[in-house]
Amino acid sequence: MPAGGFVVGDGHTAYPGKLTPYVLFTCVVAAMGGLIFGYDIGISGGVTSMPSFLRRFFPSVYRKQQEEATTNQYCQYDSVTLTLFTSSLYLAALISSLVASTVTRRFGRRLSMLFGGILFCAGALINGFAKHVWMLIVGRILLGFGIGFANQSVPLYLSEMAPYKYRGSLNIGFQLSITIGILVAEVLNYFFAKIKGGWGWRLSLGGAVVPALIITLGSLVLPDTPNSMIDRGLHDEAKTKLRRIRGVEDVSQEFDDLVAASKESQSIEDPWRNLLRRKYRPHLTMAIMIPFFQQLTGINVIMFYAPVLFNTIGFTTDASLMSAVVTGSVNVAATLVSIYGVDKWGRRFLFIEGGTQMLICQAVVAACIGAKFGVDGTPGELPKWYAIVVVTFICIYVAGFAWSWGPLGWLVPSEIFPLEIRSAAQSITVSVNMIFTFIIAQVFLMMLCHLKFGLFLFFAFFVVVMSIFIYIFLPETKGIPIEEMGQVWRSHWYWSRFVEDGEYGNAVEMGKSSNQGTKNV
């Protein structure tokens, strides 16, 4: 057998390798890093609608809720400190993902995951035992640091570990854990809210220790990725590891390409400045636009505030938490669809289909809420069928997100960056995601108060823009080895002018030409 891989019809190298139990195990463990992020997303909305929690930490919101039960429903939760509680975490995550970039690059993806788990553990404990608002906020900041590290390293880890043919599915394990984390948090909120004595929120917040321990212990047993080992000069270990991961003896082609990519990456002194070079324009654009658009789908309005939102449209606290559990289950189930289809149907198809689905639902929900609440926010008696229609369309919307922008918002950036900018560019993706998660968490309640049902139309507008953006600018990345991604830009009608032949991915091409074993099929 000749050394290495062979070039397939569409011009990229097909490296040998299977989906070994070992790679499956490492990817499942690493993907659990998403649990901490998801748990947190799911827990905040439920906790902030528990009366005992509000009475203790946000008495003014509590009073307003009690007094104004029959007046303007759009504005009852509008409080800056309450939203600061939810959103402080995202600012912290933003800052730490920038620090994580250096740790991930210099010391490996695994160490960043470990830091993430430990910081998150500390934050969960402080929150569970909180006595004052400041303890809540400090706890949330630590959780945010944890999330910054985990979200920076886990998607990269998965994309580097996975055999390229299964990269989409394995990477979406991360999003699957996010959605499981959200769902578990919502179910727990539902039960903890019922605890007599009103201290259930302590269990909800403190419960974050469990996913934190999973990723902390998980990162201790995981190996680092061969890409990262090579980048740190550990060539022999990397080759042995690559054989074990791929389950084949002959990994020389992939190994050579990784070494070549690493050489190129070593020649870069400042990965941040490097990102501004013309040839990285497509990557930088995607690193910024994909997370920006992901948040502008409006998904987190549902994720953070589903109980609050359902409460606003006339459900009792109990029914609201229950409906949030329903949307949470849809979120998990639809992510499985994406795991199944992403490497078959491709990324672009899912983006466009999901976008269309979300758009239709947003229009229907806006019309329903507008028709019942009008502009003054006084609904009168709400019939049951009405609530069912709203929840159904919200579920279809969540499904649309969960098989498109949800997973792809993490997958696509992590697979398109060449090694020399990978860690820095991924930090940009995480930071942009966090800034816009923060902005939306911070202004949503205010926007609901002022834009009323028009809020859903606001997000619908962005869904149209992002779908057009994907259609025009995002090339298909399905089934292309990660170190060979350069070709998708070179053959793109627009990006090819930035990424000229020979200018991008030189190193990998050199690696390939030095390998006599390649043959065309």
Contacts with ligand BGC by CB under 6 A lie at 41, 175, 178-179, 182, 294, 299-300, 303, 331, 406, 409-410, 433, 437
Q: Residue 144: which of 394, 441, 355 has the closest Cα?
A: 441
Nearer to ligand BGC, 97 or 228 (CB): 97
Least gap, CB of 142 to ligand BGC (angstroms): 19
Nearer to ligand BGC, 101 or 300 (CB): 300
Least gap, CB of 403 to ligand BGC (angstroms): 11
Least gap, CB of 467 to ligand BGC (angstroms): 17
Least gap, CB of 214 to ligand BGC (angstroms): 18
Nearer to ligand BGC, 310 or 373 (CB): 310
Nearer to ligand BGC, 437 or 477 (CB): 437
Nearer to ligand BGC, 164 or 410 (CB): 410
Nearer to ligand BGC, 252 or 433 (CB): 433
List Cβ neighbours of 303 (8 Å cut-off, separation of 6 or more).
41, 42, 45, 182
Nearer to ligand BGC, 245 or 447 (CB): 447
CA distance 295 to 58: 27
Q: Residue 222: which of 244, 239, 207 has the closest Cα?
A: 244
First to last CA, the chain: 15
Least gap, CB of 279 to ligand BGC (angstroms): 28
Least gap, CB of 37 to ligand BGC (angstroms): 7
Question: Is there a contact between 355 and 466 (Cβ–Cβ < 8 Å)?
Answer: yes
CA distance 40 to 60: 24
Nearer to ligand BGC, 192 or 403 (CB): 403
Long-range Cβ contacts of 285-288 (<8 Å, 24+ apart): 285/473, 286/412, 286/413, 286/416, 286/474, 287/413, 287/417, 287/425, 287/426, 287/428, 287/429, 287/432, 288/428, 288/429, 288/432
List Cβ neighbours of 17 (8 Å cut-off, separation of 6 or more).
163, 245, 246, 247, 248, 251, 254
Least gap, CB of 301 to ligand BGC (angstroms): 10
CA distance 28 to 174: 8
In the numeric block, the tokens 């909180």 are attached to 130
Least gap, CB of 292 to ligand BGC (angstroms): 12
Using alpha carbons, list the distances in angstroms from residue 378 to 160, 340, 361, 370.
Answer: 53, 44, 23, 11
List Cβ neighbours of 375 (8 Å cut-off, separation of 6 or more).
452
Q: What is the DSSP string of 372-413?
A: HHTTTT---SPPHHHHHHHHHHHHHHHHHHHTTHHHHHHHHH
Least gap, CB of 293 to ligand BGC (angstroms): 11
Least gap, CB of 436 to ligand BGC (angstroms): 9
Nearer to ligand BGC, 93 or 118 (CB): 93
Least gap, CB of 252 to ligand BGC (angstroms): 37
Nearer to ligand BGC, 79 or 175 (CB): 175
Nearer to ligand BGC, 185 or 391 (CB): 185
Least gap, CB of 399 to ligand BGC (angstroms): 11
Work out whether the CA dihedral 351, 356, 358, 359 comes out positive or negative.
positive
Q: Residue 408: which of 355, 458, 444, 461 has the closest Cα?
A: 355
In the numeric block, the tokens 């490097």 are attached to 274
Least gap, CB of 297 to ligand BGC (angstroms): 9
Q: What is the DSSP string of 39-76?
A: HHHHHHHHHTT-HHHHHHH-HHHHHHHHHTTTS-GGGT
What Rg, from alpha-carbon coordinates, does the chain have? 23
Share of the chain residues as helix, strand and coil, in percent rounded to the nearest 5: 75, 0, 20
The residues with which 13 forms a beta bridge, in sequence order, are 7
Nearer to ligand BGC, 93 or 275 (CB): 93
- What SS3 state is found at 13? strand
Nearer to ligand BGC, 75 or 470 (CB): 470
With vertex at residue 435, the alpha carbon angle to CA 169 and CA 73, rounded to the nearest 5 degrees, is 100
Nearer to ligand BGC, 47 or 258 (CB): 47
Least gap, CB of 183 to ligand BGC (angstroms): 9
